[in-house]
Structure 1
């Protein structure tokens, strides 16, 4: 408690001091260009640039090669032109190339474009180097977008904005034309926006960039962009969007007493810009029928698995609600939106209504969310909410606080509160060097006692051109229980250090990398709990784009209470020290057929494990993509042996950039359930979409080979956007 109080006191002192601080300063921003604003012109977005107005656009460049030859002239030139009207921002992009060398096979919205040639660009519309909108266009016609937060450390690709983009192949390569309405963006009163642009070319595994083209700076590092100047008198209209939907749902029960149920439903969202930078969203009869199901995962640990949020209402502006350091391991999160509208088994709990306020208010970043769930499982209608505030101090420092209230699955109330601080400096430690640090503290309370605990920690990272050094210290009290959050373990104190080396070069081997990441975790009384020493002793990326990695890990785990790892198989109490070896191969996805393979062999508690995983990807044509995943664990313990398997298969059909049909089939031996989801998405025009979704499944009872059908659900959903 003393350590928690001290951390909370330091953060509180800094937060109070921020009230008297000035606006954040601005350092060197790299290249700058002024965007011409034109009135009375119309542009048809078709990828052809035929309108005479394009002659008045400003040319942005030149690009410089980042890899494989840092600082060199690009092997193929790129032309980027930008102009604006009061209603929208326009980009014209020409990627010169030999037509036979262009890789462009994907058309789907938000596709993973690693196999294709593409361009990417982002806009820091507030000019504060903390949040940005990211866009990409692929040579095959695919377009994608995302929200960037935490100065470029967090990336939310599930956001879908309303904008246009079209691609054309030419005798000189390929080109893209983009229109981004200002109604789709939030921005401040600043007249300059942060901006960066890059081109990725698969034939040569080449990356070319506009601002700060150095390997020591990540493309998504918002402090290392250029500047677009001249943004003034932008037209967002009334700032009002109405997004109604109409839905038809049918459910067919299987087995004895199976019944059919049909349901019609209407609802929607209302979005209003309180200011150009602050949004209000209200939702009624919220529906998530078009959301893709979670991927299956077999859990061979003592601790819960983390599954990401996929629902659009919670994903929009999700970066404003993030707290503490970005952590892909997801150990402790004060606010986890999947706690709202889902029960402990992952089943839907209907939302009656919700409201969200998000964006910028002066020097503050604001995220406020409130929801009301319908009655379920004997519980009355219940409300949940979160408030997240952040403020930037100077160029390098950000302080913030968070509060959550609500207890979705039980009666009574609960609250979580916390303060955090983030520091980033990429100017004072030499070219291509960046120092980041985070400090945070949290506490929880619940009605009726219990659940009153604390968690705090610090994290730091120093990054150079070839090296990354990271140190993390984290403590979670035994009674820490965030009712609207996620915590993997309680009653622990952990220490983790990572050193990673990554060197780019020319030749057959284009990258060599290795890392070591020792960690040590104790229980609250200081007794050892676990330690791990993973070592990647060699990682190679070849000129072909193929990757080969070798890793070894030595680890210790103390089991205070035995647990059931799979049905009927137990791991006994005791101390276990094991060694495991892993080999990973990733073939270049620029080929029509690629595959990722992973083999793991070694000790597992008091026995051994052999695990292998294969993920093939077959791009049959621009219209047809077939992929899959299969993982098998063969475990032999002293008292028992068992086999686990998880498998999935995808068939994605893309009839045009606006019409897709995605099919996902999954099975795992833990649930013994085979499931199928089919999703057809038709973008009638940006902001108006039709979804047809079918889900069904089959159970395989223990001791039987036959599959027994489960319920079948069909949903048709039409939604539109009306802008005023």
Structure 2
């Protein structure tokens, strides 16, 4: 009888505990409002200001890697405060071995994907609307170097976004500290909400240890906004008049060796008006992109165009408002790179442009209208894109996009698309799952109409990761202001990955992956197939990774293809296979090598391809990157070798003054180019750029002949009212 009662008592207690967990409160912290004599902290990275002694603390961090749910090896404390104009964040990162803190990056935004891949750092994710869909990411390392991004679709960060904010950091005997100062005029938010979503993540690089305040799951990234903590007391926020002016002046000198040089002095400006804290109107006049980084060179051995990402600040700033969850790499209904460029990629002047972006109730809105100058026989054109999404219910979104205009012809082109997205973190209890579907049509002068439709699903969890795509692109579909790799095809894409957590002998993870990609014509005939079976990947505690896979491929040519000058592959169905390998060294090391190799068949011949690279970071002031890639192809129709080499030298004198130089060579164009750029951030929002571009062609006996140069000096200042 006693045993019976004990058993049922334990069940009852378990039931009550379960109810308690179901009703557990979301973790929260109250931001300290700086009033009644409390002055804002001095932004120096030293947390000795009186206000920080009164602020509430966050210290309940949990390990994500290497062991999910474990106690962190080092303590972390975070505090928040605001004075109506700025949000202040103080972070204390305890470290019992301060001499081993890893910090080698001194530049802002010197990486594209992960925040500070080689350094210790902390990052703060903010969700001002509390919708778990979009927000902002701010990160800083122990040297005070900063990076930021716009979070879109609940957990994908566009690192290209460059907000106006500031931070400082200091190292001491207890570890390191950081202070962030984020103007509310940099953020979009709902003034009716007193609480925002927030999460904080720290990385201890030498241990490859990641800890997080909330959502410490390996199935989720630090920029995921689902079910994160709350920061309370976010009321009485002031964005001023909401007016931002940024005039700029550009002095440019072009020197054409085989022609006349030219000198140009031009001026322009951007103006922003915060109509509400969540809606922004932007005007740009005589837009100039002198400071934009050059493209990384690529060599194309396929029949289809290569993709180069957008790098111009005007288009990147509000890019998430125009993003379309298309899922496939074959098509984008809108791609801002088509604006302000000719079909050959040369710059075309933008006379004036206007943007209207932000949120109103359940709607997210992005409207862009640009007047592009005439060029190469094409008249002055007006180009329009509008994107609207609406929240239907929790986790469900319906969207629409329209583009009108053809930047590459005197004809017209209109694209209209609809999309639906369901994204949840409670699938089967606590699993991540997302589902997307889209339908897009186009109407083009002299080409008629065409459509594309498709869908994706994603089950992104541990240990299973599953993702699939289906898309159909009709032969008449043409998005003139978008990106299109192929027409008249269907795409089938699926990836399944299973990861084992090893955590023994320096080996952290082992993954097994299957990845089939099949692209057919509309009649079902295979055009391209690439099946990785199996893919094996090892990950070490140091951060190094090794991948090996067998690639089974098929390419069917329905017309002859000139793969290289004088080498024509005839019509036929080619089936071939190869073994591939990639190695990436630990990014936190002073010297981080990487390499890749492919050996096997290629079309109806053979290929030996390899690439090597080296990242050398002896100090925060110097970063040297070297890379070389070679593809040796032997076909019955001929043999050829492609070569691509680059040298990247980055010098950083402080987090606000840097000098980056990129030199690139490829034997397909037989040209050598150098881009050198100095950036000085006088204060947040005020930047001076000095850019030099040099172009050379390689002649006999490997002599270089200069074919042109360009020098540009650009200065811009931001005033906020």
The TM-score with structure 1 as length reference comes to 0.93
* 8 Å CA contact retained: 1:163, 1:686: yes
Q: Find the counterpart in structure 2 of residue 323 from structure 1.
A: 324
Quote the Cα distance in structure 1 between the aligned partners of 2:25 and 2:395.
14
Q: Determine helix, strand or coil for the equivalent of 1:180.
A: strand
Off by >4 Å, runs of 4+ in structure 1: none
Deviation, structure 1 residue 536:
4.4
Deviation, structure 1 residue 120:
1.2
Matched, 1:172 2:174: yes
Query: Which of 673, 676, 692 is equivalent to 2:674?
Result: 676
Matched, 1:708 2:705: yes
Quote the Cα distance in structure 1 between the aligned partners of 2:448 and 2:546.
46
Query: Which of 587, 590, 597 is equivalent to 2:588?
Result: 590
Q: Find the counterpart in structure 2 of residue 38 from structure 1.
A: 34
Residue by residue over 1:46-94, the C-alpha shift from the partner in whole angstroms, topping out at 9 and shown as x without a partner, is 0012221111212123110011111111001111111111111111111
Deviation, structure 1 residue 484:
0.3
* 8 Å CA contact retained: 1:30, 1:212: no
User: Alpha carbons of 1:215 and 1:261: their partners in 2 closer, same or farther (altered >3 Å)?
Assistant: same
Deviation, structure 1 residue 29:
8.2
Query: Which of 649, 652, 676 is equivalent to 1:651?
Result: 649
Quote the Cα distance in structure 2 between the aligned partners of 1:439 and 1:126.
25
Matched, 1:462 2:459: yes
* 8 Å CA contact retained: 2:30, 2:80: no
Question: Structure 2: 5+ residue runs without aligned partners?
Answer: 1-22
Residue by residue over 1:134-154, the C-alpha shift from the partner in whole angstroms, topping out at 9 and shown as x without a partner, is 1110123211001111111x3
Deviation, structure 1 residue 704:
6.0
Quote the Cα distance in structure 1 between the aligned partners of 2:201 and 2:180.
15
Residue by residue over 1:307-364, the C-alpha shift from the partner in whole angstroms, topping out at 9 and shown as x without a partner, is 100001000120111112455xx21100000000011111101110100001101110
Aligned length: 691
Quote the Cα distance in structure 2 between the aligned partners of 1:535 and 1:29.
45
User: Alpha carbons of 1:337 and 1:451: their partners in 2 closer, same or farther (altered >3 Å)?
Assistant: farther
Residue by residue over 1:12-39, the C-alpha shift from the partner in whole angstroms, topping out at 9 and shown as x without a partner, is xxxxxxxxxxxxxxx9884222222222
Q: Determine helix, strand or coil for the equivalent of 2:68.
A: coil
Q: Determine helix, strand or coil for the equivalent of 2:265.
A: strand
Quote the Cα distance in structure 1 between the aligned partners of 2:327 and 2:519.
20
For the aligned residue pairs, the C-alpha RMSD in angstroms reads 1.5
Q: Determine helix, strand or coil for the equivalent of 1:517.
A: strand
Quote the Cα distance in structure 2 between the aligned partners of 1:451 and 1:605.
35
* 8 Å CA contact retained: 2:47, 2:177: no
Deviation, structure 1 residue 502:
2.0
Q: Find the counterpart in structure 1 of residue 53 from structure 2.
A: 55
Quote the Cα distance in structure 2 between the aligned partners of 1:360 and 1:593.
46
* 8 Å CA contact retained: 1:29, 1:226: no
Quote the Cα distance in structure 2 between the aligned partners of 1:428 and 1:337.
35
Quote the Cα distance in structure 2 between the aligned partners of 1:637 and 1:627.
33
Deviation, structure 1 residue 487:
1.1
Q: Determine helix, strand or coil for the equivalent of 2:226.
A: helix
Q: Find the counterpart in structure 2 of residue 110 from structure 1.
A: 109
Matched, 1:240 2:243: yes
* 8 Å CA contact retained: 1:460, 1:471: yes
Matched, 1:254 2:257: yes
* 8 Å CA contact retained: 1:476, 1:491: yes
Question: Structure 1: 5+ residue runs without aligned partners?
Answer: 1-26
Deviation, structure 1 residue 109:
0.6
Q: Determine helix, strand or coil for the equivalent of 2:185.
A: helix
Deviation, structure 1 residue 111:
2.5
Quote the Cα distance in structure 1 between the aligned partners of 2:553 and 2:378.
44
* 8 Å CA contact retained: 2:569, 2:637: no
Residue by residue over 1:359-385, the C-alpha shift from the partner in whole angstroms, topping out at 9 and shown as x without a partner, is 101110000000011121122211101
Query: Which of 131, 135, 138 is equivalent to 1:135?
Result: 138
Matched, 1:515 2:518: no
* 8 Å CA contact retained: 2:31, 2:79: no
Q: Find the counterpart in structure 1 of residue 477 from structure 2.
A: 480
TM alignment of 1:411-426, pairs within 5 A: 411-426=410-425
Q: Find the counterpart in structure 1 of residue 607 from structure 2.
A: 609
Matched, 1:581 2:579: yes
Quote the Cα distance in structure 1 between the aligned partners of 2:512 and 2:541.
18
Quote the Cα distance in structure 2 between the aligned partners of 1:714 and 1:537.
47
* 8 Å CA contact retained: 2:443, 2:449: yes
TM alignment of 1:64-75, pairs within 5 A: 64-75=62-73
Quote the Cα distance in structure 1 between the aligned partners of 2:400 and 2:718.
34
Q: Find the counterpart in structure 2 of residue 158 from structure 1.
A: 160
Quote the Cα distance in structure 1 between the aligned partners of 2:711 and 2:221.
44
Residue by residue over 1:403-439, the C-alpha shift from the partner in whole angstroms, topping out at 9 and shown as x without a partner, is 00001111121100000000012114123x1111000
Q: Find the counterpart in structure 2 of residue 146 from structure 1.
A: 149
The TM-score with structure 2 as length reference comes to 0.94
TM alignment of 1:277-316, pairs within 5 A: 277-316=278-317
* 8 Å CA contact retained: 2:388, 2:401: yes
User: Alpha carbons of 1:503 and 1:28: their partners in 2 closer, same or farther (altered >3 Å)?
Assistant: farther
Matched, 1:125 2:118: no
Matched, 1:721 2:718: yes
User: Alpha carbons of 1:428 and 1:585: their partners in 2 closer, same or farther (altered >3 Å)?
Assistant: closer
Q: Determine helix, strand or coil for the equivalent of 1:427.
A: strand
Quote the Cα distance in structure 2 between the aligned partners of 1:99 and 1:149.
35
Residue by residue over 1:277-304, the C-alpha shift from the partner in whole angstroms, topping out at 9 and shown as x without a partner, is 0000000000000001000000011110
Quote the Cα distance in structure 2 between the aligned partners of 1:358 and 1:118.
31
After superposing the two structures, state which structure 1 stretch, 554-563 or 39-48, moved more.
Answer: 39-48
Q: Find the counterpart in structure 2 of residue 660 from structure 1.
A: 658
Quote the Cα distance in structure 2 between the aligned partners of 1:181 and 1:617.
35
Q: Determine helix, strand or coil for the equivalent of 2:415.
A: strand
Q: Find the counterpart in structure 2 of residue 359 from structure 1.
A: 358
After superposing the two structures, state which structure 1 stretch, 503-512 or 437-446, moved more.
Answer: 503-512
* 8 Å CA contact retained: 2:632, 2:640: yes
Q: Find the counterpart in structure 2 of residue 184 from structure 1.
A: 186
Deviation, structure 1 residue 500:
0.8
User: Alpha carbons of 1:122 and 1:340: their partners in 2 closer, same or farther (altered >3 Å)?
Assistant: same
Q: Determine helix, strand or coil for the equivalent of 2:637.
A: coil
Deviation, structure 1 residue 159:
1.2
Quote the Cα distance in structure 2 between the aligned partners of 1:28 and 1:670.
62
Q: Determine helix, strand or coil for the equivalent of 1:697.
A: strand
Quote the Cα distance in structure 2 between the aligned partners of 1:181 and 1:35.
15
Q: Determine helix, strand or coil for the equivalent of 2:337.
A: helix
Q: Find the counterpart in structure 2 of residue 269 from structure 1.
A: 270
Q: Determine helix, strand or coil for the equivalent of 1:43.
A: coil
Query: Which of 450, 453, 463 is equivalent to 2:450?
Result: 453
* 8 Å CA contact retained: 1:43, 1:51: yes
Quote the Cα distance in structure 1 between the aligned partners of 2:543 and 2:376.
52
* 8 Å CA contact retained: 1:514, 1:535: no
More relative contact order, 1 or 2 (CA 8 Å, 6+ apart):
1
Query: Which of 638, 641, 661 is equivalent to 1:640?
Result: 638
